Structure 1
Amino acid sequence: MTYQPDRACGRPTRSGNPCKIRISGSDVACGTHATEQDKAVAEAYRRGWNEGYEAGRESGASSSKSHIAYLKKRVKELEEQLDSARHVYEVDGCQVVQVGKYSYRWRGSDPLKVGDRVHLPENWVSKLKVGPGLTVGVVTKLGTTYRGSLSDIVGRAPAEASP
């Protein structure tokens, strides 16, 4: 059975002339002239078309999801490569570390490690959030990709006492 767009039924009427009722899609005859077999064939065709359409849609969606996941992974890899190429661990002979999302310079003799607690200088944000004076932060990363001016870490903070 081939799909034919909008067309006339064409089955003979009582007068013997072809039926001129318009049919479309998978129907083979109009409602007046269609037999039970014609209706069953048309319904099977519609069901098969719908199932095929749905399977194709799901396959396309699955393919798109896997392609998106691949592209996200690739972008992350490329960002990491670019990041490592631009990463600096020392500026003017001083160690550079990240505390939270901000980068600082450490002038101390013993290098800092991730997890070390440090005293940070007051800035306008810390003054608003915690009040005047030094704040305590934790080193989250060694090195930075930041290229602007860096504030100096004031000193090491004592380790937190365990309860």
Structure 2
Amino acid sequence: MTDQHNRTCGRRTRSGNPCKVRISGSDVACGTHATEQDKAVAEAHRRGWNEGYKSGSESSASYSRSRIERLEQRVKELEEQLDEAKRVYEIGGHQVVDVGGYAYRWRGSTPLEVGDRVLLPENYVSRMKNGPGPTLGVVSKLGTTYRGSLSDIVSRAPAADG
């Protein structure tokens, strides 16, 4: 089999010797010796190769995207399972909720629900952002996986005006 990248035309010259012009890729003869049919076949081969390469690249990219999506979904499912296995809803007999990504303890008699508005205790950051006093928050999740000390929710917030 001829090396596609290091070959010569080989067609007979006027002197009868083989042409020594280097050709590559889809070409079957040099520009001087190639017939219209040779040129058409070489162009069809190039076009087919390019289309095949493009199709293969697109197929590979599509497969990769699909695989990434499946893996991301699986990671999400496993994170949810781990979260649920570690999540606690009460600590010391008091409800625990997530407000803005932070866990708080609720000592009220009526349990909180997701979406309930609450007043959170002042802290260093809230004082800088909102001034002194409690800050409004919304319960985003019931329970927590956090195991450190918790601040108490001050109270339920007054109903929103609207």
TM-score w.r.t. structure 2 length? 0.95
Equivalenced residue count is 161
Alignment-derived partner of residue 132 in structure 1: 132
CA offset at residue 3 of structure 1? Answer: 7.3
Q: What do the CA deviations read for 1:108-146 (whole angstroms, capped 9, x no partner)?
A: 111111122222111001000000111121211110111
Cα distance in 1, alignment partners of residues 123 and 17 from structure 2: 94
Counterpart residue number, 1:105: 105
2:66 alignment partner, SS class: helix
Q: Which position in structure 1 is the counterpart of 2:118? A: 118
Shift of 1:74: 0.5
The 4+ residue runs of structure 1 with deviation greater than 2 A are 2-5
- The answer as to 2:21 corresponding to 1:17 is no
Q: Show the counterpart of 2:89.
A: 89
- What secondary structure is seen at the aligned counterpart in 1 of 2:74? helix
The percent of aligned pairs where both chains have the same amino acid is 75
Segments of structure 2 that go 5 or more residues without pairing to the other structure are none
For residues 21-55 of structure 1, give each alpha carbon's deviation from its aligned partner in whole angstroms, at most 9, with x where no partner exists: 11111111111111111111111111111111111
Task: Using the TM superposition, give the Cα deviation of residue 6 of structure 1 relative to its aligned residue in structure 2, in angstroms.
Answer: 1.8
User: Residues 3 and 69 of structure 1: is their aligned pair in 2 closer, same or farther, counting only changes over 3 Å?
Assistant: farther
Give the structure 1 partner of residue 8 of structure 2.
Answer: 8
Hey, what's the Cα distance between the residues in 2 that align with 1:47 and 1:3? 21
Within 1, Cα distance between the matches of 2:114 and 2:18? 87
Q: CA deviation at 1:5?
A: 2.5
Q: 1:62 aligns to what?
A: 62
Question: Hey, what does 1:149 align to over in structure 2?
Answer: 149
Tell me how far 1:104 sits from its aligned partner.
0.2
Counterpart Cα distance in 2 of 1:58 and 1:113: 48
Contact 1:3/1:26 (<8 A) preserved: no
CA distance in 1, matches of 2:119, 2:92: 21
* 1:32-71 matches, cutoff 5 A: 32-71=32-71
CA RMSD in angstroms, aligned pairs only: 1.3
Structure 1 residues 71 and 97: CA distance shift in structure 2, 3 A: same
Q: Which moved more, 1:130-139 or 1:75-84?
A: 130-139
What TM-score, normalized to structure 1?
A: 0.94
